[in-house]
């Protein structure tokens, strides 16, 4: 899977949220000042070339949909982040979040319970 640029990821997030959608639908959901139609259309075509989006043509209108689900891209992005900044270790990521106080003890305990429940189901 390829990494998306910030602009591509923003548009892909909108496609996931609104699909199926047209370029006009995407632009209508954007704050003012609205970007040019050609700019958003170009980004969507790039997403198609990268295999993230597809379309169905209805005359001159193209209706876009995702080809990669949000969960898969989230997993890919998180693994990429952990690989680049935390030596490939999820433990390092969680330790970092705890040290930075970006995760509360209650949240960590909830994660531990979730992992324990998942492990019990596997057995």
d(CA 26, CA 31) in angstroms, rounded, equals 10
Residue with tokens 């596997």: 122
Residue with tokens 């209108």: 61
Main-chain dihedrals φ then ψ at residue 109, nearest 5 degrees: -65, -40
Q: Which of 66, 84, 102 finishes a domain? A: 66
Q: Are residues 45 and 75 in the same domain?
A: no
Dist. CA 19–CA 68, nearest whole Å? 12
Q: Is 35 helix (H, G, I), strand (E, B) or coil?
A: coil
pLDDT of the residue at 7: 96
Two structure tokens written together for 72: 């898969």
Instruction: Give the burial class of 109: count Cβ atoms within 10 A of its Cβ; 0-12 exposed, 13-18 middle, 19 or more buried.
Output: exposed
What's the rounded Cα separation, in Å, for the pair 112 and 61?
49
Per-residue pLDDT tens, the chain, 123 aa: give them: 899 999 999 999 999 999 999 999 999 999 999 999 999 999 999 999 999 999 999 999 999 999 999 999 999 999 999 999 999 998 899 888 888 888 888 888 898 898 888 888 877
CATH code at 34? 1.10.10.10
Same domain, 83 and 98: yes
Residue range(s) defining the domain that contains residue 109? 70-122
Per DSSP, the three-state class of 42 is: helix
pTM metric for this prediction = 0.81
106 with 89, same domain: the answer is: yes
Q: Please count the structural domains in the chain.
A: 2
């Amino acid at each position: 899977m390829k990494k998306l640029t910030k602009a591509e990821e923003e548009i892909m997030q909108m496609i996931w949220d609104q699909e199926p959608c047209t370029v006009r639908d995407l632009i209508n959901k954007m704050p003012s000042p609205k970007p040019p139609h050609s700019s958003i259309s170009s980004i969507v075509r790039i997403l198609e070339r990268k295999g993230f989006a597809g379309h169905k043509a209805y005359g001159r209108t193209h209706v876009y949909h995702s080809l990669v689900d949000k969960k898969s891209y989230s997993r890919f992005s998180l693994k990429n982040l952990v690989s680049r900044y935390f030596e490939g270790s999820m433990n390092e990521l969680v330790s970092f979040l705890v040290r930075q106080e970006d995760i509360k003890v209650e949240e960590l305990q909830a994660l531990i319970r979730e992992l324990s429940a998942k492990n019990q189901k596997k057995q």
